[in-house]
Structure 1
Amino acid sequence: MQFDRNGADPGGKMQSGSGEVRFDDCAVLVTGAGRGLGYETALLLASRGAKVVVADNGSDKGGDNPDVSRAAAVVREIRDAGGAAVECTADLSFLAGAEQAVDTCLSAFGRLDALAHLASPCPPLKTPSDLVERDLDLVLRTNAQAGLWLARTAWPHMASRQFGRMVFASSAGALGAPANADYSTAKSAMIGMTRCLAVDGAAHGILVNAIAPAAMTRMTEGFHPGAYADWFARTMQSSSVAPAVAYLLAHACELTGELFSIGGGRIARIVFAETEGEMMGANSIEAVRDCMPDVLADTSYFYPKNLQERSEKVAGFLGFSEKR
């Protein structure tokens, strides 16, 4: 294994400064690092000097038949290439597991600078009438619950140093996809979690962002055979997503509360927008019906960064002013 991951530069060209983006003396916790996007991210970070906690409990797509040897194999690969890494196979969806992961990082490296929560199961596609409790519980615990427990446990260590970086994996599936309600629900939760943590972290130097990756992983292996599936397998490699994740974890990154669509060498910003809307004129069902064409006209958007900014904007539409 060569440690130059296809010559990828995680963000050096995106910043006004110059030079290689490095992670020397930084300790980073990467979940889902046994394979896929987590694996590529862990190797890329290690190649740039990061000390990496490879967190992966070896579960397959449905959470069964865990292979705990995967984390150890990635650690060996990093060490064989001259990097520094330790493994963690704890179940991060419980507070005790998240604490174990953070403690592993602190014990091995004496610090925790950043975390990337990329682990996620992908339950079999099911229509709403076929949803099962086990799948929903698994995907919510592994995504949102684990993300919050990791943030809770890492928070005091980052806040005490006035520095931290967090990246969480959402999904374009949050936009809506057939037979995907349980998975999309969990991934949508990651967006709200990211934006709230970004608000809370601003005073402590903790920057929090989310990604919606498109990559060939275990989750996309089930695409129906055809031209699109073949193109996706060739184009959407996990190695093309890892540089953006690494950039968002770097000291050079000053972004927070953002959601990025990443895949195939493309990166785009996903935004929340609200139209300025229409005043109904009367408080009635009929008034709502009559103004709906104008509400849906998709004009005059604003883009609130957080709930406070949105509330102030809407209050202004409704005539409120603190100066009165």
Structure 2
Amino acid sequence: MTDIQFDDRVAIVTGAGSGLGRGYALELARRGAKVVVNDLGGSPSGVGASASAAQRVVQEITDAGGEAVASTDSVATRAGGAAIVQTALDTWGKVDVLISNAGFLRNNRFEDLTDEEIDPIVDVHLKGAFYVGQPAYRAMRAGGYGRILFTGSSSGAFGHAWQANYAASKAGMIGLSNAVAIEGSAYGIQSNVLLPNALSRLEEVMTPGYMEIPAFAEALQSTDFSFADGRMTPEFTVPLAVYLVSEACTATQGIYSSNSGRYSRVRLAEAEGWVSPAGTTPPAVEDIGANFEEISELRDFSLPAHNYDEFTIAAKVARARGIHS
């Protein structure tokens, strides 16, 4: 097994003052990376700021013989994102790795979410990924190499009650990463999304109000957590994240899940579906209803590489069914 190292690589980790971000920063530094440890130092609900969180992690890294610098700029503004990347450029002259990890929670019912609960979540999770990602991407393009890891969530991919704001922002990471991966392929830049499941300080604001949803409460109460016992720590997610931003990894435009020591690729796929009769006459709504079971069947499915690939897949399916020549 070849050792995976980050010698002479410069990495930026946002939200690196605690939890998963701290774990990423420490492991990258242990493997030779120079690390910008970014953290605003706010609470799990995004309130307040403190320089101590980032500085403590920097101290851990330097005490172990590594190189790191603290950044307390906010990812939620374009100026803050630029300043984070500029910290790397001013200190080491380049950017090779970005792990976009900063985030917090403000849970509430979908119908009760206020602008104060929606806007900051979107600003930090989704817009923050743009604000740090864009200047980092430009630096990577200039260097002809880059690894970007956006932090999604199973809440965004599969749903979670009382987290519509968070889930929407995290689902946005998938579209963002897909576009960045396609564009970045011309410049040696890879991009993936990680869906981490780990206990963190965000659990402090995970109120149980969502248990009012009967189907969700029943599903949660019947969930088998036995395998997860002792395996939901950040340390179980760190290895996958670090591999995905390593030079050894050649995967891009992927979504990967880390859950209790099980690591897997997640796919957004298309069923083969139903194809309307040949010709230029659209089907009726009733035709859709009559064939909806076939439209929904996932027995055979395809994985489009991009949106235009859907046209090629549709033509292939139509030909296979004798509808198209």
Fold in common (TM above 0.5): yes
Would the alpha carbon gap of residues 208 and 59 (structure 1) be closer, same or farther in structure 2, given more than 3 Å must change? same
Q: How many angstroms apart in 2 are the aligned matches of 1:141 and 1:80?
A: 34
Q: Is the aligned partner of 1:272 residue 2:268? A: yes
CA contact 1:121–1:138 (8 Å) conserved in 2: no
Would the alpha carbon gap of residues 268 and 223 (structure 1) be closer, same or farther in structure 2, given more than 3 Å must change? farther
Q: Counterpart of 1:29 in structure 2: which amino acid?
A: I
Q: Is the aligned partner of 1:183 residue 2:166? A: yes
Task: Tell me which residue corresponds to 1:248.
Answer: 244
Range with bigger deviation, 69-78 or 216-225: 216-225
Q: Is the aligned partner of 1:30 residue 2:26? A: no
Q: Counterpart of 2:38 in structure 1: which amino acid?
A: A
Measured after TM superposition, the shift of residue 142 of structure 1 is: 0.7
Equivalence map 1:133-148=2 (5 Å): 133-148=115-130
Superposed CA RMSD in Å reads: 2.1
Q: How many angstroms apart in 1 are the aligned matches of 2:176 and 2:301?
A: 24
Measured after TM superposition, the shift of residue 155 of structure 1 is: 1.8
Q: Is the aligned partner of 1:50 residue 2:33? A: yes
TM-score in terms of structure 2 length = 0.88
Residues 192-226 of structure 1: CA deviation (Å, up to 9, x unaligned): 10111000100000000010000011223437699
Q: How many angstroms apart in 2 are the aligned matches of 1:40 and 1:311?
A: 42
CA contact 1:216–1:237 (8 Å) conserved in 2: yes
CA contact 2:75–2:102 (8 Å) conserved in 1: no
Measured after TM superposition, the shift of residue 37 of structure 1 is: 0.2
Q: How many angstroms apart in 1 are the aligned matches of 2:167 and 2:86?
A: 31
Range with bigger deviation, 205-214 or 109-118: 109-118
Would the alpha carbon gap of residues 108 and 34 (structure 1) be closer, same or farther in structure 2, given more than 3 Å must change? same
Task: Tell me which residue corresponds to 1:149.
Answer: 131
Residues 60-84 of structure 1: CA deviation (Å, up to 9, x unaligned): 1221122221101111111011110
Q: Counterpart of 1:140 in structure 2: which amino acid?
A: V
- Could you list the runs of 5+ residues in structure 2 that have no partner in the other structure? 209-219, 320-324
Q: Is the aligned partner of 1:119 residue 2:72? A: no
- Could you list the runs of 5+ residues in structure 1 that have no partner in the other structure? 1-17
Measured after TM superposition, the shift of residue 299 of structure 1 is: 2.2
Q: Counterpart of 1:137 in structure 2: which amino acid?
A: D
Q: How many angstroms apart in 2 are the aligned matches of 1:186 and 1:60?
A: 19
Of 110, 124, 131, the residue aligned with 2:113 is 131
Would the alpha carbon gap of residues 233 and 62 (structure 1) be closer, same or farther in structure 2, given more than 3 Å must change? farther
Measured after TM superposition, the shift of residue 144 of structure 1 is: 1.1
Q: How many angstroms apart in 1 are the aligned matches of 2:318 and 2:64?
A: 61
Q: Is the aligned partner of 1:236 residue 2:232? A: yes
Identity %: 30
Task: Tell me which residue corresponds to 1:296.
Answer: 296
Q: Counterpart of 1:54 in structure 2: which amino acid?
A: V
Q: How many angstroms apart in 1 are the aligned matches of 2:286 and 2:311?
A: 26
CA contact 2:14–2:102 (8 Å) conserved in 1: yes
Q: How many angstroms apart in 1 are the aligned matches of 2:52 and 2:159?
A: 35
Runs of 4+ in 1 over 3 A off after TM superposition: 221-233, 315-319
Measured after TM superposition, the shift of residue 135 of structure 1 is: 1.4
Q: How many angstroms apart in 1 are the aligned matches of 2:58 and 2:191?
A: 26
Q: How many angstroms apart in 1 are the aligned matches of 2:229 and 2:46?
A: 24
Paired residue total: 302
Measured after TM superposition, the shift of residue 236 of structure 1 is: 0.5
Equivalence map 1:67-216=2 (5 Å): 67-124=50-107, 126-174=108-156, 175-216=158-199
CA contact 2:227–2:260 (8 Å) conserved in 1: no
Q: How many angstroms apart in 2 are the aligned matches of 1:229 and 1:287?
A: 43
